[in-house]
Amino acid sequence: MNKFNTSFIFIGSIILLTACVRFTFSGASIPEGAKTFTVKYIVNNAPLVNPTLSQLLTDKLRERIQSQTNLIMVNDGGDLTFEGEITNYVVQPAALQANDVAALNQLSITVSIRFDNKIDEKQNFSQQFSRYQQFSSSVTLSSVEDMLVEQIVDDLIDDIFNRAFINW
């Protein structure tokens, strides 16, 4: 095979691969034809409720999609739709000392997300995402809760965004 044929096959392959999916500079792959997205309010159905968590998750997911893609946010009926619920918010011991006293505690948050892709239904998913942060038992949860929640939410948003848009 000569260089011309090899180059032609390579360029043709690239064109075929990119014909159905748009790529952004963030690495997100967006189905060709998708123009809009909707993130419905993520409700809090956890037994222990943090009153700001639903709004924080919803807002951060919207912000991530807006900043990392060229999709336009709409209130309802987007080409790509996210909806979900917080199913767990729990603090538990993470490391016990010899006298059965916790040296570390762990805050865990679990969300269940449903993703509907009207352009490519094979990409639809319903999945639970769970993340945690540990903190010293020598401090109270209330003194570190806002910082821990912020870190956990950032990790959850990374996971949700990557599941929906990073198809490597």
Q: Please give the pLDDT value at position 17.
A: 43
For the domain made up of 35-165, the CATH class stated in words is alpha beta
For the chain, domain boundaries: 35-165
pLDDT per residue as tens, the chain (168 positions): 555 555 545 444 444 444 444 444 446 788 889 999 999 999 999 999 999 999 999 999 999 999 999 999 999 999 999 999 999 999 998 876 666 666 889 999 999 999 999 999 999 999 999 999 999 988 999 999 999 999 999 999 999 999 999 864
Cβ neighbours of residue 6 closer than 8 Å, sequence gap 6 or more:
none
The 3-state DSSP composition of the chain as helix, strand, coil percent (nearest 5) reads: 35, 35, 30
Distance separating alpha carbons of residues 86 and 6, to the nearest angstrom: 51
CA distances in angstroms from 72 to 55, 63, 68, 110, listed in the order given: 20, 11, 11, 27
Exposure class string for 8-19: b at 16+ Cβ within 10 A, else e: eeeeeeeeeeee
The pLDDT of residue 1:
57
Alpha helices in the chain (DSSP H): 3-19, 53-68, 141-165
Q: What is the pLDDT of residue 102?
A: 66
- Could you say which DSSP state residue 71 is in? P
Beta bridge partners of 133: 107
